[in-house]
Amino acid sequence: MKLDWITPAERLSALPPYVFARLDELKARAREQGLDLIDLGMGNPDGPAPTPVIEAAIAALNNPANHGYPPFEGTASFRKAIANWYRRCYDVELDPDSEALPLLGSKEGLTHLALAYVNPGDLVLVPTPAYPAHFRGPLIAGGKVHSLILKPEKGWLIDLAAIPDEVARQAKILYFNYPSNPTAATAPREFFEEIVAFARKYEILLVHDLCYAELAFDGYQPTSLLEIPGAKDIGVEFHTLSKTYNMAGWRVGFVVGNRHIIQGLRTLKTNLDYGIFAAVQTAAETALQLPDVYVHQVQARYCRRRDFLIEGLGQLGWNIPKTKATMYLWVPCSVGMTSTDFALDVLQKTGVVVTPGNAFGVAGEGYVRISLIVECDRLAEVLRRFKQAGICYSTEALVSSSD
Ligand SMILES: *Cc1c(COP(=O)(O)O)cnc(C)c1O
């Protein structure tokens, strides 16, 4: 029987195609052709979770008490570990019962927050380029997304002064993310002070995604929204264990901040999921308590890769400033080439996967994102293939290869 009498709900048709899924098809085709792919497309860290985390998970797995449904609101000890971590990292006090909520990864929480707070037609401010969940969540909820165009000449910072007064008045939520995926931009503390003042003035809920809290280099320490006085009245902040602790497959993250906002998200989630496997929460708790030396090793690893690739791309004509944080380089395509054409060209000629910038919204056009998720010997191979295939940065308009 054909299913042509049923169509997906309208909320799905509001979504632009998920570029990563399309990239997956192209990768599969390239693999069939026998190409040795080097995948720098996804933000999927390489390597295992830290040994103490794995050991804690195994011990927790051997305890049958963990095998049943976990508590909806997360285990008390994970929530306490979150509050302790915030005190240690940011000198911010959190009530573990009402101001911290474990999530099945931050993507889940970022999207569900929109379902919990956005009515059809509500206005949500989202930068472009941005991490896709920041605009896809509001779109699924039926919200209207007002894009805040980020520009290289502003250091990819949101230009708050450029937001029209009537837009700010109507806006209900503003999503933002520094250190940024995909641009790798960072925001100074003064920016956080300005955005808190802006949100308080216009009564806008601030949703800050701090997934790269620890992936910062050269002594740079990212700012937490909650460090800013008054931020907890109007904001929440999301974290993940995926990146720093190589736990992307474990699906664990958390949100902290305003208790009323967190209560709304908790209420929605009680109707959707049963929380995170308790053994995974034990593992996450262990990760947050690792000694600083672990995080320093992770930072050194990404720093090494960053320096290596920036140097090598420099020899191919790209002038990429040193990034202060994240696991990405945000690289301009040759002048006149679209992101998609450039990424396809690179994939076809070299077997290297990079993400077209338009996956992150219209203002990502003209760029690609390269993830630093392989060791320097593989990055050397990337550079070798680029050189051989004539992939370089050119300020002269090129004719795109797909013509
Ligand atoms: C990777 C990433 C996430 C997703 O993290 P999960 O906890 O694995 O869902 C969220 N936000 C940003 C900006 C990211 O880069």
pLDDT in tens, 278-294: 999 999 999 999 999 99
Ligand 1 geometric centre to CA of 146 (Å): 22
CB-CB contact of 336 with 189 (8 Å): no
150 burial type by CB count under 10 A (0-12 exposed, 13-18 middle, 19+ buried): buried
- Would the pLDDT of 38 be above 90? yes
In eight-state DSSP terms, residue 144 is E
Report the pLDDT value the prediction gives residue 403, as an integer from 0 to 100: 42
CATH topology of domain 10-48+293-389: Aspartate Aminotransferase, domain 1 (3.90.1150)
Question: In a mutational test of the pocket of ligand 1, which residue from 242, 302, 330 has the highest number of ligand atoms less than 8 Å from its CB?
Answer: 242
Separation of 132 CA from ligand 1 center, angstroms? 10
- Reply yes or no on whether the pLDDT at 133 is more than 60: yes
Q: Is the pLDDT of residue 271 over 80?
A: yes
Separation in Å, CA 29 to CA 25, 32, 36, 359, 371: 6, 5, 12, 20, 21
Tell me which of 17 and 75 has the higher pLDDT. 75
CA of 225 to the centre of ligand 1 (A): 17
Does residue 107 have its Cβ closer than 6 Å to ligand 1? Answer: yes
| Distance (Å, whole) CA 184 – CA 87 | 26
Does the CA dihedral 269-181-324-51 come out positive or negative? positive
Where do the structural domains in the chain lie, given as residue ranges? 10-48+293-389, 51-288
* Nearest atom within ligand 1 for CA of residue 105: 7
Cβ–Cβ under 8 Å, residues 93 and 325: no
What pLDDT score does 32 carry? 87
CA 72 – CA 74 distance, rounded (Å): 6
> Does the CB atom of residue 35 touch ligand 1 within 6 A?
no
Q: What is the mean pLDDT of the chain?
A: 94
Residues 173 and 123: their CA atoms lie apart, in Å, by: 7
Examine the pLDDT at 69 and tell me if it is beyond 70: yes
For ligand 1, is residue 137 a contact (CB within 6 Å)? no
Q: Is 398's pLDDT higher than 60?
A: no
Domain 51-288 has CATH 3.40.50.920: no
* Pocket flag, ligand 1, residue 209 (CB < 6 Å): yes
pLDDT value of residue 7: 87
CA of 395 to the centre of ligand 1 (A): 33
CA dist., res. 374 & res. 166, Å (int): 46
Ligand 1 and 26: CB distance under 6 A: no
Q: Which atom of ligand 1 is nearest to the CA of 248?
A: 8
pLDDT digits (tens, 9 = 90+) for 330-373: 999 988 899 999 999 999 899 999 999 999 999 999 999 999 99
> What is the structure's pLDDT at 34?
83
The span from the first CA to the last CA of the chain, in angstroms, equals 41
Task: Give the residue-averaged pLDDT of 36-61.
Answer: 95
The pLDDT, as a whole number, for residue 246 is 97
pLDDT at 17: 74
What is the structure's pLDDT at 8?
A: 87
Task: State whether the beta carbon of 181 lies less than 6 angstroms from ligand 1.
Answer: yes
Q: Ligand 1 centre from 184 Cα, in Å?
A: 14
Q: What is the pLDDT of residue 13?
A: 83
Kindly state if the Cβ of 253 falls inside 6 Å of ligand 1.
yes
Give 157-213 pLDDT, tens digit per residue: 999 999 999 999 999 999 999 999 999 999 999 999 999 999 999 999 999 999 999
The residue whose C-alpha atom lies closest to atom 15 belonging to ligand 1 is 181
Which atom of ligand 1 is nearest to 240's Cα? 7
